């Protein structure tokens, strides 16, 4: 269901196109796509059936920009927020996240997705790259369809691993067949908004045979491969003990790296390993909030950019961040880049790009979304910069305003494919109060099933 037409008028367009155009002007959406910007709007409006847009949005005092792309996320984990604290990566996975994922039902999975989606949509996010859990992928697809978000998603694939609950382990053949079945049912669904990826979780949970089969299926079907790598030092040590090398050379040797590869974290990559990503035109996703909370380390995104590696920004899951907030991630990414490269950091424009056009490019979606350009899908966010925490000179540098001053509560409108999902505090596809109540109820029974007795009280 897309709007006939929507005119967003009176704002400042932050286009994130190749020229990085910033200009006062209007934006016209029709048939789910951006049909005109700025000076081209009057003629395009005149060409509409009755010479005006069906809906108007006054963006005065606001920036109009491409919606944020969350390039690494686990919506199945939103329900675990608060249950898996004060831990590092492997202990967090083995003692909390995997037992909790194993306890999911279709209903708890849907509640987890919708709880997270309420927050994402209200924060200007229009596109997510989500790793599901091993099961309940149809419930995930159905819930994503109901949110109205654009999403790439796929079941996590796990065919081995220390302390993996039996319910999450599948043979490689069955895991891949199940993922391809999900692709048959969901890839291209919802007018193309939903796509399916192959998501082997990480090296420690996937056999060499599974990586080989995933690589071949990705090539044949054109599906993204979404995984984690080089996230924490202890993980790196276990990976080296298991396969004899670090993750990046292992992936390069197996032929896993390709333009369809999206790897989260990459905290512990050296320059030679980053070069492997450039050579394969593979993408990396920076998740600074998660990396800090789990104590994993500081990814060198400046080095990724200098090497020409495709890249995006993500929050990771609700149980390791714990926000699903692009503004928080942008501020952290900017600050960490300044700490790592004091004299040559990423600037605010680079950071906004990471959260929009670069992220879309990393997911292979740059032809459709990631920038405000005529002909592209109308995935748009409107962010006000007229509140006191922006005063007095927000318009002087809109990128700095977005990265260092704006908050998710400054988002006024979020639209995907021209369909308004959120407008001035009101969701149109989700009922936040109901989603929150269902999440609390489902989380309690899920915690009981997982044996987290104290949390279920």
Instruction: Please name every residue paired with 28 in a beta bridge, in sequence order, or none if there are none.
Output: 7, 36
Taking the complex as a whole, the smallest distance from the CB of residue 74 to Zn ion amounts, in Å, to 5
Segments in 325-431 forming alpha helices (H): 326-340, 348-355, 357-362, 398-400
Question: Residue 355 and residue 20: Cα distance in Å, rounded?
Answer: 14
Contact status: 350 vs Zn ion (CB under 5 A)? no
Residue 200 or 432 having the CB closest to Zn ion: 200
Residue 59 or 157 having the CB closest to Zn ion: 157
Question: Near Zn ion by CB under 5 A, which window of 250-258, 295-303, 310-318, 404-412?
Answer: 310-318
Question: Near Zn ion by CB under 5 A, which window of 57-65, 240-248, 308-316, 343-351?
Answer: 308-316
Residue 70 or 260 having the CB closest to Zn ion: 70
Residue 109 or 372 having the CB closest to Zn ion: 109
Residue 69 or 402 having the CB closest to Zn ion: 69
Q: How many CA atoms lie within 13 A of 65 on its CB side?
A: 28
Residue 273 or 316 having the CB closest to Zn ion: 316
Query: Which residue in this structure is represented by tokens 């040797």?
Result: 253
Residue 287 or 381 having the CB closest to Zn ion: 287
Number of residues that bind Zn ion (CB under 5 A): 1
Residue 316 or 438 having the CB closest to Zn ion: 316
Taking the complex as a whole, the smallest distance from the CB of residue 73 to Zn ion amounts, in Å, to 8
DSSP state of 96: I
Taking the complex as a whole, the smallest distance from the CB of residue 9 to Zn ion amounts, in Å, to 39
Question: Near Zn ion by CB under 5 A, which window of 101-109, 208-216, 316-324, 365-373?
Answer: 316-324
Question: Residue 142 and residue 190: Cα distance in Å, rounded?
Answer: 10
Closest residue to Zn ion in the complex (CB): 316
Question: Near Zn ion by CB under 5 A, which window of 312-320, 330-338, 350-358, 374-382?
Answer: 312-320
Question: Near Zn ion by CB under 5 A, which window of 92-100, 143-151, 160-168, 315-323?
Answer: 315-323
Taking the complex as a whole, the smallest distance from the CB of residue 154 to Zn ion amounts, in Å, to 13
Which residues in 164-197 are b (16+ Cβ under 10 Å) and which e? bbeebbbebeebbebbbebbeebbeebeebbbbb
| Nearest one of 132, 131, 141, 223 to 185, comparing CA atoms | 141
* C-alpha 204 chain-centroid distance: 23
Taking the complex as a whole, the smallest distance from the CB of residue 264 to Zn ion amounts, in Å, to 5
Instruction: Please name every residue paired with 153 in a beta bridge, in sequence order, or none if there are none.
Output: 130, 196
Taking the complex as a whole, the smallest distance from the CB of residue 202 to Zn ion amounts, in Å, to 9
Contact status: 235 vs Zn ion (CB under 5 A)? no
Q: What is the layout of strands, in order, in the sheet containing 150-154?
A: 68-73, 125-131, 150-154, 194-196
Question: Residue 396 and residue 112: Cα distance in Å, rounded?
Answer: 40
Question: Residue 17 and residue 21: Cα distance in Å, rounded?
Answer: 6
Residue 290 or 349 having the CB closest to Zn ion: 290
Contact status: 316 vs Zn ion (CB under 5 A)? yes
**Lookup: tokens for 162:** 């220390």
CA distances from 405 to 171, 359, 390 (A): 48, 21, 6
The site for Zn ion (CB under 5 A) is made up of 316
């Amino acid at each position: 269901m897309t709007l006939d037409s929507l005119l967003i008028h009176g704002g400042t367009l932050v286009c994130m196109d190749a020229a990085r155009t910033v200009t006062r002007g209007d934006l016209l959406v029709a048939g789910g796509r951006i049909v005109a910007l700025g000076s081209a709007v009057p003629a395009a409006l005149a060409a509409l059936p009755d010479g005006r847009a069906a809906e108007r949005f006054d963006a005065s005092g606001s920036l109009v920009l491409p919606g944020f792309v969350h390039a690494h996320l686990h919506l199945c984990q939103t329900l675990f927020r608060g249950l898996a604290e004060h831990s590092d990566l492997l202990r967090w996975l083995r003692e909390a996240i995997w037992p909790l994922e194993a306890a999911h039902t279709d209903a708890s999975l849907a509640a987890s997705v919708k709880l997270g989606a309420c927050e994402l949509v209200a924060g200007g996010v229009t596109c997510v790259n989500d790793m599901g859990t091993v099961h309940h992928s149809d419930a995930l697809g159905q819930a994503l369809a109901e949110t109205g978000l654009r999403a790439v998603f796929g079941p996590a694939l796990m065919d081995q691993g220390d302390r993996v609950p039996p319910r999450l382990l599948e043979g490689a053949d069955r895991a891949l067949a199940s993922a391809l079945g999900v692709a048959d049912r969901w890839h291209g669904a919802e007018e193309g908004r939903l796509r399916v990826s192959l998501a082997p979780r990480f090296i420690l949970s996937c056999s060499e045979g599974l990586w080989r089969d995933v690589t071949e299926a990705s090539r044949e079907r054109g599906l993204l491969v979404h995984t984690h790598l080089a996230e924490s030092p202890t993980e790196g040590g276990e990976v080296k003990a298991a396969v004899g090398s670090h993750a990046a050379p292992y992936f390069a040797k197996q032929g896993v790296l390709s333009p369809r590869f999206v790897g989260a974290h990459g905290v512990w990559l050296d320059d030679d390993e980053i070069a492997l990503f450039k050579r394969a035109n593979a993408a990396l996703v920076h998740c600074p909030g998660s990396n800090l909370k789990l104590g994993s380390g500081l990814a060198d995104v400046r080095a990724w950019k200098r090497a020409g590696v495709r890249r995006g920004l993500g929050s990771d899951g609700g149980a390791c961040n714990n926000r699903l907030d692009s503004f928080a991630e942008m501020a952290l990414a900017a600050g960490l880049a300044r700490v790592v490269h004091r004299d040559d950091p990423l600037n605010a424009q680079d950071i906004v790009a990471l959260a929009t056009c670069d992220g879309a490019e990393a997911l292979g979606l740059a032809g459709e979304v990631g920038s405000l350009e005529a002909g592209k899908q109308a995935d748009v966010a409107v962010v006000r910069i007229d509140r006191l925490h922006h005063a007095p000179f927000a318009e002087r540098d809109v990128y700095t305003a977005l990265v260092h001053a704006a908050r998710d509560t400054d988002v006024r409108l979020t639209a995907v494919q021209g369909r308004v999902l959120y407008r001035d505090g009101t969701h149109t596809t989700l009922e936040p109060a109901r989603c929150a109540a269902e999440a609390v109820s489902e989380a309690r029974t899920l915690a009981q099933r997982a044996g987290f007795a104290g949390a279920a009280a």
